[in-house]
Structure 1
């Protein structure tokens, strides 16, 4: 119980500091959790808090629970503690703790591959290796152009691997699997080239993201579960909406490489539109498994999801014409994430109330 509270607190602090840092960077009046003189450093640390601190910690906990090895929890412990260091301005300590977290996480995934050698476990290991590469570059002081592609490759490959596992029993042509592997290799090649050759690397990365979005939209089981009911339909809506944002992110990433003012769209269509949609979709299933929290699912789960997509439209579409609208959209992004956290907490309370009442009736 104490360990779950500690990891939950580390992930929560990372998320709160990351949101505050992102809002502060756009001029929204929130307390500044960072102590950096350069706006570029603030952007990089904001991303580190969100990707490595929050998402890295949550994914690390999920994998540690799955392998059932105590040492595996060193990864989320290091990533969460590293994020805490970053939030208080200790960049070097935070960055190298992030490297340690990624290295342990890679070892955890190597164990998974040894236990079950399959396409999806190999992709999980490649995603972990991408996290190691990104964290090493961050610790070495490289800029976002070199670091971000590796961090997002970690998240994208992890999600793609999990979706591949979920759909492994679906019938599809052998060429479909080969196409997926080719797209993910193109993604890694784009990440590797982005630091030294931003144009070629950015174009390759953007094309890979856009084509991956099309692959997922065509071959993911969400196309079928969209026509079911309850939590299955909700997950499908989250997934398919996320794939749409992934496609937009790919186009924006390539456009930014060509010099168009599309960097904010590339980063946040990918980080919020795609990744957070995946988090919202999987949370009702994953949270009970890793946190032993049971949720009462209902249509109210759609509300923060709709809020997220609308806030992204304000930020990325309307905000491209107006700086104040862009900042307002970012504030609404933060509100949507907080709204989802409140929704999950409310669903947990609702489940306890419902089952407590049922228990009381049975006792009578």
Structure 2
């Protein structure tokens, strides 16, 4: 059975983008910046909008396209409509139920992938889905959104790590790679699972696991080799390597207690990972993922480095504000983060228009090349 045709996937992307827009406005409201009422009203669920509604929709949609079955699209539909219900101020339990359902669909899809190919990277992807499911269940049962955040971060980090791990098979075999990956993943999972029992210690262990995972990615990922290439291949590698540095900073801040709500390093720990690491991955992989999902062409252009540079500069400003305990710097950093996302989206839209005008013979090879990821 084939999946949804590309035009039918667009409404799911629109739901995800609506969650992104509202989540960004909610994040600005948390910084004390005046935003439209519909964004300010969601300040308390900023993390749910960004992770469950936006990333949940995008990740489950990508997985559904890969599985090529109609049932897989129930995942992005559930996550997208869950975000819409949050925006419309529906009772939280309804949206929470949809997020639980979306995570279950993602987990079932992950099991199907494991049946096709049982490997360390497919197990890691499944563990990422488990983390999302556990976080959603925790939020549903206890209404403790803050307690769900480590599980949600685990969902994003393990999903990305699993996809990166898959590509290490193109490198010469290194005996230490798999055992060390298992060790750092177990450390992060142990901290996450220990958090509901002993929050302070569990969050510190979780931070240590993320720091160790960042070091593993910097050492073993194929991005180090691809940084010596040209064009899109090099751009993706730069995105990845810079993102790993932010993951390391976030893990280090978490190890110092930054994952605890109210800690002076909380904003640094959270956004080094959720913005610096995760969005660097988004910027790098968008020219590959969006064409696969929406069947559009996004030819590489050196301007792609502009939103990436803005991402790092704006986040550095925000982190500096957190370290200096300066609300003004954090606010300017938050506004610059928002502008960065706007520049990135505009860049992708212009690229799609450019891609539509590219002659077919050139288009076939525009985003291809050895060692693409």
Which of the five TM-score ranges fits, normalised by the shorter chain? over 0.9
Equivalent residues of 1:92, 1:139 under 8 A apart = yes
**Structure 2 CA distance for aligned equivalents of residues 310 and 35 of structure 1:** 25
Equivalent residues of 1:21, 1:32 under 8 A apart = no
- Residue matched to 1:33: 38
What are the equivalent positions in structure 2 for 1:130-279 lying under 5 Å apart?
Answer: 130-256=131-257, 260-279=263-282
Equivalent residues of 1:234, 1:281 under 8 A apart = yes
| The 10-residue stretch of structure 1 (251-260 or 96-105) with the greater mean CA deviation from structure 2 | 251-260
- Residue matched to 1:14: 19
| The 10-residue stretch of structure 1 (253-262 or 268-277) with the greater mean CA deviation from structure 2 | 253-262
Tell me the number of residue pairs that the alignment of Structure 1 and Structure 2 aligns.
354
- What do the CA deviations read for 1:221-252 (whole angstroms, capped 9, x no partner)? 11111111000110011000000000000011
| The 10-residue stretch of structure 1 (291-300 or 166-175) with the greater mean CA deviation from structure 2 | 166-175
Equivalent residues of 2:53, 2:79 under 8 A apart = yes
Structure 2 unaligned regions, length at least 5: 1-5, 364-373
Structure 1 unaligned regions, length at least 5: 360-364
What are the equivalent positions in structure 2 for 1:84-103 lying under 5 Å apart?
Answer: 84-90=84-90, 91-103=92-104
Equivalent residues of 1:314, 1:326 under 8 A apart = yes
Deviation at 1:356, TM superposition (A): 8.0
Equivalent residues of 1:20, 1:32 under 8 A apart = no
1:307 correspondence with 2:310: yes
Deviation at 1:104, TM superposition (A): 1.1
Deviation at 1:47, TM superposition (A): 0.7
1:289 correspondence with 2:299: no
Pick the aligned partner of 1:354 from 347, 354, 358: 358
CA 1:199–1:342: 2 relative to 1, 3 Å: same
Equivalent residues of 1:17, 1:49 under 8 A apart = yes
Equivalent residues of 1:24, 1:32 under 8 A apart = no
- Residue matched to 1:334: 338
Which of 1 and 2 has higher RCO (CA within 8 Å, sep 6+)? 2
Q: Secondary structure at the match of 1:256?
A: coil
**Structure 1 CA distance for aligned equivalents of residues 184 and 143 of structure 2:** 26
- What do the CA deviations read for 1:281-301 (whole angstroms, capped 9, x no partner)? 111111111110101211000
**Structure 2 CA distance for aligned equivalents of residues 159 and 257 of structure 1:** 22
**Structure 1 CA distance for aligned equivalents of residues 286 and 259 of structure 2:** 36
Deviation at 1:169, TM superposition (A): 2.6
CA 1:243–1:173: 2 relative to 1, 3 Å: same
Deviation at 1:258, TM superposition (A): 9.0
**Structure 1 CA distance for aligned equivalents of residues 29 and 193 of structure 2:** 30
CA 1:73–1:258: 2 relative to 1, 3 Å: closer
Deviation at 1:318, TM superposition (A): 3.3
Q: Secondary structure at the match of 2:281?
A: helix
- What do the CA deviations read for 1:298-330 (whole angstroms, capped 9, x no partner)? 100000000000000111113432101101101
Deviation at 1:171, TM superposition (A): 2.0
Equivalent residues of 1:210, 1:247 under 8 A apart = yes
CA 1:2–1:352: 2 relative to 1, 3 Å: closer
TM-score normalised by L of structure 1: 0.93
Deviation at 1:142, TM superposition (A): 4.0
Deviation at 1:136, TM superposition (A): 0.5
- What do the CA deviations read for 1:143-171 (whole angstroms, capped 9, x no partner)? 34421110011111110100011112312
TM-score normalised by L of structure 2: 0.91
- Residue matched to 1:66: 66
- What do the CA deviations read for 1:82-123 (whole angstroms, capped 9, x no partner)? 011111222221111101110111111111111111111111
